Amino acid sequence: MAGVFDMVYQQSLVDPECFWRDAAAAIDWSKSWDSILDSSNSPFNKWFSGAECNTCHNAVDRHVEAGRGDQTAIIYDSPITGKKRKISYTELQDKVARCAGALRQLGVEKGDRVIIYMPMVPQTAVAMLACARLGAIHSVVFGGFAPNELATRVTDAKPKAIVAASCGIEPGRIIDYMPIVDEALSLSPHHVPNVIVLQREESLAELKSGRDHDWKAVMEAAEGVDCVPVKATDPLYILYTSGTTGEPKGVVRDNGGHMVALKWSMKNIYNTEPGEVYWAASDVGWVVGHSYIVYAPLLHGCTTVLFEGKPVGTPDAGVFWRVISEHNVSTLFTAPTAFRAIKREDPNGALLNDYDIGSLRTLFLAGERLDPDTLNWAEEHLKVPVIDHWWQTESGWPIAANCPGIEALPIKPGSPTRAVPGYNVQVLDPSGKEVERGEMGAICIQLPMPPSCLPTLWNADERFVESYMSDYPGYYESGDAGYMDEDGYIFVMARTDDIINVAGHRLSTGAMEEVLADHPDVAECAVIGVEDTLKGQLPLGFLVLNAGVSKGGDTISSEVVKMVRERIGPVAAFKSAVVVDRLPKTRSGKILRGTMASIADSKEYKQPATIDDPAILPEIEAVLKTIGYAGK
């Protein structure tokens, strides 16, 4: 007999318009839609076409009007600075309305872009919601990126203003943001006339007269403004994510579909009620932060925790338990790497004895493959269900998950369970046919995708089609490979492109290769992802040097490490590159990166039939052994 989950899932696929119309009733619309799903120009599908709404109204004002004004909307807990603060929905409404007023004073209106380059402080959420209030499109840039990456985003998004902080704080060091902003603006041909700067007392920035405006001063001077109705299909934000080249992809998120899917997910996937405390321990610079630190918990009337710290070292591996017990967290969401870090420091979970984490109902993990060891450790020590779920920047919410709000299904380690209602996930062979259950293939989603999934890439409709829709017509290609078992459980095993996943962060090895290739002494290069017990994967570079180079290999290796840090940023975690005589290739000249990665990880591999010179593989293995990889 079909269970409740099966019934809900079937309804979502048989009649998606009916399914999402029901879900849309949980959102306030200022004008109703003409059509729920307009697929007349597929793959550019539009949800709730013709409708008008405002995301900030639904996330903030609506709750104040409904009597939730005194409830805490945001808990800021910053072990790195020792600060804590609670902001009620009423206070949040006031701050957001005034921030929107300040942006408007600087000429920002509906449809304009605003780049937000800020750390994990409540003002970041205020700035995002202020843009939403005006109908302006925000693009948040993660603090661990270098000026060059910020410049690329400025050039593509062409913002009218930037909202930045004077600094971010990492354990043991302060990162001054304004020199990064200055350099990015000097690198970009796009002129940004106004920058609002939040001065943090840990390091004050020198403001540039005529361009920079002090956050506190503009907030005090500004008048609050009301929510501006936007089309459901208008962009709410652009979030850049790694593509296969150095050019990041600007994933666009709409207003209406995004709200409907996120609000629906809070009860049905996360099983969370309005008024509860929800904590996504991620960073607002990533999609998890957009969706589950800011928008979804607020749309649902929850209290969200904004945590400025690390799972270990701020001050110790008990900080997650301290935050859960102190703030009564009922749902925690983070990446497996955070739990691997905690487990490494406190293998027996001794620090859990210092806190009462009885409020915690469920732990959700995503961002990378959840290894069975981490799953078992978390289940054993937290004594709550641990749910692996799979999604991407492109979807904005889970594609596969156990949905305890509908019906908790049995957990199979290694699988994020089944496709979430709304997603028709299929595993395809290269000809586009569904493979047998248990067989590996490309994980794809049949069109139309549910609300919130990217309608396109910013200024790049062609790239959108070419990147996701061209290899498997009628489907969205996720870029992940894996299989589905007899029960419909999905197993996500690897990327099909050159994306690697470092500490839950998505990075392009292609972008790193572009940097390495720029070194004057490097003739050829390759970057692969090697397995790492803490971060899941780490990038490793291979360099073939030009003939007659006088510098030592070690010197060149450290120079390219420095170049990647300067051009992409510390978040790339690119710490090693080795010099080799030659790279293994196919006869047509394609570098065998996958084979090199298998050798590095001591995995069995088949020598490709098309290999040009098999003698190179033992050479690579020998070099890898000298740095502690291969042959384990």
**Residues within the interface to ligand COA (CB under 6 A):** 143-144, 168, 170, 175, 282-283, 286, 288, 310-312, 335, 337-338, 341, 367, 502-504, 570-571, 573
Least distance between ligand COA and beta carbon 503 (Å): 3
Q: Which residues contact 435 (CB under 8 A, 6 or more apart)?
A: 427, 428, 429, 441, 483
Query: Which of ligand AMP, ligand COA, none does residue 390 bind to, with CB < 5 to 8 Å depending on kind?
Result: ligand AMP
Q: Residue 266, SS3?
A: helix
Query: Which of ligand COA, ligand AMP, none does residue 311 bind to, with CB < 5 to 8 Å depending on kind?
Result: ligand COA
Summarize the chain as % helix, strand, coil (round to 5): 35, 25, 40
Q: Based on CB atoms, which residue is closest to ligand AMP, 73 or 335?
A: 335
Query: Which of ligand COA, ligand AMP, none does residue 388 bind to, with CB < 5 to 8 Å depending on kind?
Result: ligand AMP
Question: For tokens 């991407």, what's the residue?
Answer: 392
Q: Based on CB atoms, which residue is closest to ligand AMP, 456 or 478?
A: 478
Query: Which of ligand AMP, ligand COA, none does residue 392 bind to, with CB < 5 to 8 Å depending on kind?
Result: ligand AMP
Q: Which residues contact 274 (CB under 8 A, 6 or more apart)?
A: 68, 300, 301, 302
Q: Residue 611, SS3?
A: strand
Q: Based on CB atoms, which residue is closest to ligand AMP, 324 or 370?
A: 370
Bridge-partner residues for 31, per DSSP? 52
Least distance between ligand AMP and beta carbon 39 (Å): 24
Q: Based on CB atoms, which residue is closest to ligand COA, 124 or 402?
A: 124
Least distance between ligand COA and beta carbon 311 (Å): 5
Q: Based on CB atoms, which residue is closest to ligand AMP, 178 or 492?
A: 492
Q: Which residues bind ligand AMP (CB under 6 A)?
A: 241, 287, 366-370, 388-393, 416, 478-480, 492, 495, 501, 506
Q: Which residues contact 117 (CB under 8 A, 6 or more apart)?
A: 140, 141, 143, 150, 162, 163, 164, 165, 177, 180, 181
Least distance between ligand COA and beta carbon 299 (Å): 19
Q: What's the rounded Cα separation, in Å, for the pair 437 and 384? A: 30
Least distance between ligand AMP and beta carbon 372 (Å): 12
The alpha carbon dihedral of 583, 586, 588, 594 has a sign of negative
Least distance between ligand AMP and beta carbon 556 (Å): 31
Q: Based on CB atoms, which residue is closest to ligand AMP, 340 or 389?
A: 389
Q: Based on CB atoms, which residue is closest to ligand AMP, 79 or 289?
A: 289
Query: Which of ligand AMP, ligand COA, none does residue 59 bind to, with CB < 5 to 8 Å depending on kind?
Result: none
Query: Which of ligand AMP, ligand COA, none does residue 416 bind to, with CB < 5 to 8 Å depending on kind?
Result: ligand AMP
Least distance between ligand COA and beta carbon 231 (Å): 30
Least distance between ligand COA and beta carbon 348 (Å): 19
Query: Which of ligand AMP, ligand COA, none does residue 480 bind to, with CB < 5 to 8 Å depending on kind?
Result: ligand AMP
Q: Based on CB atoms, which residue is closest to ligand AMP, 96 or 287?
A: 287
CB-CB contact of 85 with 73 (8 Å): no
Encoded tokens for 409: 């299904």
CB-CB contact of 141 with 149 (8 Å): yes
User: Crossing angle, helix 593-600 and helix 616-626, to 10 degrees?
Assistant: 40
Q: What stretches of 279-402 show up as alpha helix (H) in DSSP?
A: 287-289, 296-299, 319-327, 336-345, 372-382
CA atoms lying within 13 Å on the CB side of residue 240: 25
Q: What's the rounded Cα separation, in Å, for the pair 77 and 363? A: 19
